Chain A
Amino acid sequence: MLNMQLSQMNNLAMLTPPSAIELNALIPGAIVTLVAILFILIDVFHRKGTPRDYLAYFSVVGLGVAAASTYFLWDDVLARPVFFGMLYFDRFALFFAALASVAGGLAILCSPAFLRSHRMDRGEYYLLVLLSVVGMIFMVAAADLLTLFVAFEVMSIPIYVLAGFLRDDGRSAEAAMKYFVLGAFSATIMLYGIALIYGATGTTNLEFIGHNLAYLQVAEGVHAGYWMALVGVVLILSGFAFKIAAVPFHIWAPDVYTGSPTPIVGFMASAVKAIAFAAMLRVMVVAFSFESLRGGFFGYGWIDVLFVLAGASMVLGNLVAITQNNVKRMLAYSSVAHAGYILVGFVAANSHPSFFLHNDAILFYLVAYTFGVIGAFGVLAYFGRRGEAVETYEDLGNLGFKYPVMGLVMGICMFSAAGIPPTAGFLAKLYIFSSAVDASIQTGEFAFIGLVILGVLTSVAGVYYYLKVLVYMYMKPALREFRPLDHIGPKVAVVACAVLTLYLGIFPGRALELSREAIVDFVGAPAAVQSVIDQANPIVPDFAVEPAVVAAEPVL
């Protein structure tokens, strides 16, 4: 088996020392890292008592450069893993690197006045956001479970700290405590899953795991050693489910969203979720896409687990959101529901290799969702002055007429979240459900249709509670006066979110193309999926390496 592995490694160019061109893979992450390190240096010389706005703008510019770099790297991607099979450098990774950078930048823009008002105008805040983005960039590029896990921690730890950043606020401390303890716990479970996978396959490299599992299946049959891998897969999955806040691993979300600093909640709800989805897609497709492991419609594989999670998330998330009175809490449950919708697309697109290209619906949905959710939390952050923050529906009374721009932004974001045209949310939902329906029509499986119907019916609850926000903003009288945090940052950020949400809803062409290109350029997929990709993309890139086909020879 070792010989087999070594020849595979040769095939995958893992034993050849990395060439200089591979360093391109590091550029987006390196830019953000460099910005972070420069940030520390600048922060040391910061004059006490002066606002740190310039540091925020510096970070935003840095993240903007990182996002822009993905555009210039778009055509330089490599069709094989780089750095001894540790990282992928493909458009899929670049897509999410850009998304994470943009989300981080928008969240930072919403922050300066908010932090000053909470007397926590400290440089570490921005630094932690930057470092979290670094983790995200490497997480989607990871080609190895260990690299993935390390990046996962780099992403998570800053978020735990940021959740408790308002340290004088008891609720913020509570949020951080809960998020950290539960997050660490779920990370441990995930790590245990990784250990089991290593035990079963002898490697942590995603592609090797795939190859070795295929070998195991031939050598031992499905019933002996194979389920061990399945236990590992399920445990890894539970770690991802925690980050995307899918029922029943969502329990942390409401408390954490309510207590954490509002701009960070936007970041948490958008970027963390998007990156976790992307990494989950990578791991599941590259390493675990074998028929018997994947299962599907109660053959009990990971598709079945996700199927249940999708249904439960949509139902529970939407229905519980109705009963909430706190807007942030409502948005927490609604983000659970959105995880459910995305999972519908995930289940449909990955239930069979031939549907793989439908994954672009997930990408588009995540983009649409990111802008909508950051916009909504940005508006709440704008009204987030210490001690007089807008929290409940009643607090929103008449704000729409008093602050027309913020009202309009909130309206667009809520429309998008509810999936009402002409916003991006509508097209995203349409795309997701359409891909699920397509899968159903092609396979004749009713299960997808069932999920779609469940999704559509529960969306009604969404329409109800999202519009409730607008009803309060425009139709109810104000009960209290709120002084907004008048600062250019959140204004720019939320208007950008609203404009993008509308733009993507009306002219989605380019974004859909990019999503499609990112999916078509997905590197590391097993042969069954790769053939589907090749059909969509007949042009073979320069660095393409023939997929390794090694005859499995039983050793035992």
Chain B
Amino acid sequence: MTPLFIVLLPLIGVLLPLLFDRFGRLPCTLSAAFPTLMALGMLFSMGPAVMAGEVFVISWPWVESLGLNLAFRVDGLGFLFALLILGIGALVIMYAHYYLTNDDPIGRFFAYLMLFMGAMLGVVLSENVLLLAFFWEMTSLSSFLLIAYWSHVPAARQGARMALTITGLGGLGLFAGLVMLGNMVGSYDLSVILASGELIRAHELYVPMLLLVLLGAFTKSAQFPFHFWLPNAMTAPTPVSAYLHSATMVKAGVFLLARMHPALAGSSEWFFIVTGVGLLTLVFAAYVALFKHDLKGLLAYSTISHLGLITVLFGFGTKAAAIVGVFHIMNHAAFKASLFMTAGIVDHECGTRDIRVLGGLKKYMPITFVLALLGSAAMAGIPLFNGFLSKEMFFYEAWKLPLMGDYPWLVPAIATLGGLLSMAYSVRLVYDVFFGEVGETPKKPHDPPFGMMFPVGVLVAICVAVGLFPEPIIGPLLTAASAAVLFGDPGAIDLSLWHGFNAAVVMSLIAIFGGTLFFTQRARLYVLADKIWPDLTGKKVFEQLVEAVATAMRTITSTLENGSLQRYIALLLGFSVLAAGLPLVRFGIEPGPMAMTEIDFVSVVMWLILVVCSLATAILHQRRLVAVIVIGVVGLVISLAFVQLSGPDLALTQLSVEIVTILLLLLALFVLPKSTPHEGGFTLRQARDIVLAAVAGLGTALMAWLVMTRPLESISRFHLENANYPVGGGNNVVNVTLVDFRGFDTMGEISVLLVAGLGIFAMLQGLDFKYVEGTISRARDRYPVMLTSFSRPLLALIILISIYVFFRGHNMPGGGFIAGLITSVALILQYLASGIDWASERMRINFKLLAAAGVMLAVLSGMVSWLAGLPFMTMAVQFSLPVIGEFNVVSTLFFDLGVYLTVIGSMMVILSNLGHLGQIEEEYDENERLTEADPWKP
């Protein structure tokens, strides 16, 4: 349970500072320190066992099907990192208490800090790699919050966003990599993964997986070319920089390298990528650090450089190098955190951290000076400090490196150069800040309160103590951690101060003296650097990259999505044609075996009419009335085509639908301007549309030809054979199919009709319609006598016909749908001929309800059979009436009636509402006329 508590305590601790905020600063700080110290205590309680080489693994199932368990692991490596996180965390909390001013919301700060601490502990103590990725993302997010803590500073927000983008990118890459890793091994548990190094390295997906995992490690540890987020994150409050950006978060990357060392290291890909990136970072960042005028900027680049060094060590892939890597992680955490805090003190007390302004602080802040001096000495790798030990071991490993073939000198040379530059900037840090002339600083400098120096003192004391007595202080911990990294016995680790005169000593000497020399010549160097160093920073590249992507996307958006419906349709059609055309290209075009039928004269004429009218619709579309008439002809020809192809039902349906559609269009035209605006001459858009239309049309024709030359054996023969009594209960196959075999689809279709009717009703009813300029001026006589007097007797006649059509439907062409349309036409004719008021006075029917009742009836007619204990829609009663003759009542008849009612209801809702629009306009007209005729009317 202990590991779980260690992770959970800081996460619970997120709430405490927020709660204690109201009681003042000190209780707030203590409430953050308390869980930290408690967790630290629990960690210590596990110390002896861990030092003895024990590995604690606890696991609870969480999402088992995903392999995601709540599993934690405390081994030497995890213990070491947890110690760093909690120990330095406690010191940072103390430091922050003095660092933050009264204006800063301290509760929020500590809440973020505890969130980060919990996440970081989660990363280092996870047994399940998915859990690790989970906490990894949480560190990115909490660091985002911490960097943007001073959210009123734009640079802080910018830096925070950049940090999040880069580390978030890496985190997601890591996530993908770890998922791959887990799938390769078959488990997401570290114990299994670490034991399957051979299998992993031999897997064919090893390289992509490795790249993804390394992307995560490199972005987090700010390795080139992802390094630039770290300097820009320096806008964070200094305690954050000391904690996240030197001691812990940036170490997560190298932690990952250490963690995955047994599973991933040892291949040549690993060696070249990791070592290469590390070396480049080591030298590059150290060089840049030399020129940084911002104290924290200098430290940031120095951190990057040291992380590069650690990366190189893990890249070597040898046991000894990995041990040194772990050692340097500890050392760097100690001295760099102390230096960051020192920089914070300087900033806090002087009001600036610009090295060009600062100077001669030795006099004013003697204690700080001593602490900084000792910390820098450790950073530079001066003997008797901890930094010296690990650096010398690094040089030694570089020298011994067996893998470099013909270039054995390359790695040692670069390593020495890195050490040299490190020495140079360390000297510069101390000299420029504490020696020389006293600068004009915004505040008068003096030593800070004890509480601020104490954490620095502790860290510096560790540096010195480890430097002097490495074996007793750090030996057991290093052994345990190395055992975890190597997943085996590390053997005896030689931590003595003097190994005898060897290559490493020479390299160290070159670095120390060369570095000092470099520093003395820095004035010339600056001049030179200004000349040759391109004005190119990672930040700029990143920003330009983001900007370029944004510009490209804006261009894409404005070309693809300019808001024009025509363009959208063209794109939609274009892509459909493309997608459908590819199979044609791929598989070739082959006509089927069927012979072509003869072409008869009538068909050709009809075909010509169809083509001409279709073209005319497109060409004349600006004159709306004409276009509607012409498109009506197209519909008519299609109905005739159905007649010719022996589909009278289809023809009848098509015809009635066509008529109703035209009516609809005419009613809509009533409220629209006479013609659409002129578009100008022949445009590119028209050319595009013509090409698209031609391609799509020809493609469709081609498809039709190919389909029709193939024999078709369809389900329809089954319908033909089974349509009549007793199965279907009718002689008209089409209608039986509609109301029986496919009754469900019909029910769905009438629902569509109902929905459409309701939709149009919702859109039109009560609409406050305004008079549109340019509508057609209409005849004075709105209701011609001839039409009015003709339409009234016609109503009865048409309804009679529709009833006839309805009843004959079951055995001959006809049926509920067509009958409904015919009735609607009859009714709407009354609206047209006699006016809305006249008609609605006489038709007091709620058509909306009628439509709903129709659907209900259709549903119920099916249900009746069910209630009678028979299957759905299977009732037929035959009886004969005098005069009318044989009569068949089947359940489908009621179903058809439902269809009939729905069609009438929906059509009337649609048409009468459209008609009402015209009515409003008419009233408007009359009002106009009244005002003209009667100027005294109000």
Residues B866 and A248 in contact, CB atoms below 8 Å apart:
no
Could you tell me the distance between the alpha carbons of A157 and B744 in the complex, rounded to whole angstroms? Answer: 19
Contacts A157-B759, A203-B714 given; indicate if A238 touches B554 (C-beta within 8 A): no
Which A residues touch B134, using CB under 8 A? 421-422, 426
Contacts A18-B872, A146-B745 given; indicate if A464 touches B165 (C-beta within 8 A): yes
B458 within 8 A of A: no
A17 within 8 A of B: yes
Which B residues touch A223, using CB under 8 A? 587-588, 590
**Using a CB-CB cutoff of 8 Å, which residues 551-570 of chain B contact chain A?**
552-554, 556-557, 560-561, 563, 565, 568-569
Residues A20 and B572 in contact, CB atoms below 8 Å apart:
no
Could you tell me the distance between the alpha carbons of A466 and B242 in the complex, rounded to whole angstroms? Answer: 29
Could you tell me the distance between the alpha carbons of A131 and B168 in the complex, rounded to whole angstroms? Answer: 43
Which A residues touch B741, using CB under 8 A? 84
CB distance from A496 to the nearest CB of B (A): 22
A363 within 8 A of B: no
**Using a CB-CB cutoff of 8 Å, which residues 160-216 of chain A contact chain B?**
160-161, 164-165, 167, 177-178, 181-182, 185-186, 189, 192, 196, 198-200, 202-203, 205, 208
B614 within 8 A of A: no
Residues A158 and B65 in contact, CB atoms below 8 Å apart:
no
A224 within 8 A of B: yes
What is the chain A residue whose CB lies nearest that of B61?
A509
Which B residues touch A228, using CB under 8 A? 703, 706-707, 710
**Using a CB-CB cutoff of 8 Å, which residues 42-58 of chain B contact chain A?**
none
Q: How large is the interface on B (under 10, 10 to 19, 20 to 34, 35 or more residues)?
A: 35 or more
A222 within 8 A of B: yes
CB distance from B476 to the nearest CB of A (A): 35
Could you tell me the distance between the alpha carbons of A456 and B869 in the complex, rounded to whole angstroms? Answer: 57
| Chain-B contact segment, one of A89-97, A434-442, A485-493 | A434-442
What is the chain B residue whose CB lies nearest that of A229?
B583
Residues A463 and B164 in contact, CB atoms below 8 Å apart:
yes
Residues B748 and A6 in contact, CB atoms below 8 Å apart:
no
| Chain-A contact segment, one of B246-254, B292-300, B428-436, B846-854 | B846-854
B184 within 8 A of A: yes
B173 within 8 A of A: yes
Residue in B141, B565, B759, B848 whose CB lies within 8 Å of A181 = B565
CB distance from A477 to the nearest CB of B (A): 9
A249 within 8 A of B: yes
Residues A421 and B572 in contact, CB atoms below 8 Å apart:
no
| Chain-A contact segment, one of B32-40, B390-398, B574-582, B771-779 | B574-582
A254 within 8 A of B: yes
Residues B572 and A182 in contact, CB atoms below 8 Å apart:
yes
Residues A131 and B584 in contact, CB atoms below 8 Å apart:
no
Residues B762 and A5 in contact, CB atoms below 8 Å apart:
no
| Chain-A contact segment, one of B655-663, B667-675, B749-757 | B749-757
A551 within 8 A of B: no
For the A-B complex with A181-B569, A202-B713, A474-B151 known, give 12 more contacts whose Cβ atoms are closer than 8 Å: A37-B852, A124-B761, A138-B748, A157-B755, A222-B587, A226-B587, A234-B579, A249-B572, A300-B582, A323-B553, A453-B173, A471-B157
Could you tell me the distance between the alpha carbons of A249 and B572 in the complex, rounded to whole angstroms? Answer: 6
Which B residues touch A203, using CB under 8 A? 714-715
**Using a CB-CB cutoff of 8 Å, which residues 825-852 of chain B contact chain A?**
846, 848-849, 852
Could you tell me the distance between the alpha carbons of A95 and B255 in the complex, rounded to whole angstroms? Answer: 44
A305 within 8 A of B: yes
B175 within 8 A of A: yes
Residues A22 and B707 in contact, CB atoms below 8 Å apart:
no
Residues A249 and B553 in contact, CB atoms below 8 Å apart:
no
| Chain-A contact segment, one of B91-99, B204-212, B222-230, B628-636 | B204-212
Residues B717 and A2 in contact, CB atoms below 8 Å apart:
yes
Residue in B63, B172, B180 whose CB lies within 8 Å of A460 = B172
Residues A431 and B66 in contact, CB atoms below 8 Å apart:
yes
Could you tell me the distance between the alpha carbons of A446 and B148 in the complex, rounded to whole angstroms? Answer: 39
Could you tell me the distance between the alpha carbons of A551 and B826 in the complex, rounded to whole angstroms? Answer: 56
CB distance from A434 to the nearest CB of B (A): 5
Residues B855 and A37 in contact, CB atoms below 8 Å apart:
yes
Could you tell me the distance between the alpha carbons of A552 and B557 in the complex, rounded to whole angstroms? Answer: 51
A225 within 8 A of B: yes
Residue in B569, B583, B742 whose CB lies within 8 Å of A230 = B583
Which A residues touch B554, using CB under 8 A? 323
B183 within 8 A of A: yes
Residue in B587, B744, B849 whose CB lies within 8 Å of A86 = B744
Contacts A128-B758, A231-B584, A471-B157 given; indicate if A182 touches B565 (C-beta within 8 A): yes
| Chain-B contact segment, one of A62-70, A147-155, A366-374, A537-545 | A147-155
Residue in A5, A122, A158 whose CB lies within 8 Å of B715 = A5
Residue in B208, B584, B756 whose CB lies within 8 Å of A227 = B584
B586 within 8 A of A: yes
Which A residues touch B204, using CB under 8 A? 444
A/B interface sample: 30 pairs, CB < 8 A: A1-B713, A17-B871, A17-B872, A40-B848, A40-B849, A128-B755, A147-B744, A150-B748, A157-B759, A182-B572, A202-B715, A223-B587, A227-B586, A234-B579, A254-B561, A255-B563, A320-B557, A323-B550, A420-B137, A422-B134, A427-B66, A430-B66, A434-B182, A446-B205, A453-B173, A456-B176, A457-B169, A459-B172, A509-B63, A509-B64
CB distance from A480 to the nearest CB of B (A): 19
A520 within 8 A of B: no
Task: Return the CB mask of B371-392 against A: 1 if under 8 Å, else 0.
Answer: 0000000000000000000000
CB distance from B55 to the nearest CB of A (A): 26
Residues A127 and B758 in contact, CB atoms below 8 Å apart:
yes
Residue in B164, B573, B758, B852 whose CB lies within 8 Å of A467 = B164
Which B residues touch A144, using CB under 8 A? 745
Contacts A17-B871, A199-B712 given; indicate if A157 touches B762 (C-beta within 8 A): no
Could you tell me the distance between the alpha carbons of A22 and B148 in the complex, rounded to whole angstroms? Answer: 61
Residues A185 and B762 in contact, CB atoms below 8 Å apart:
no
What is the chain A residue whose CB lies nearest that of B166?
A460
Which A residues touch B748, using CB under 8 A? 138, 147, 150-151, 153-154
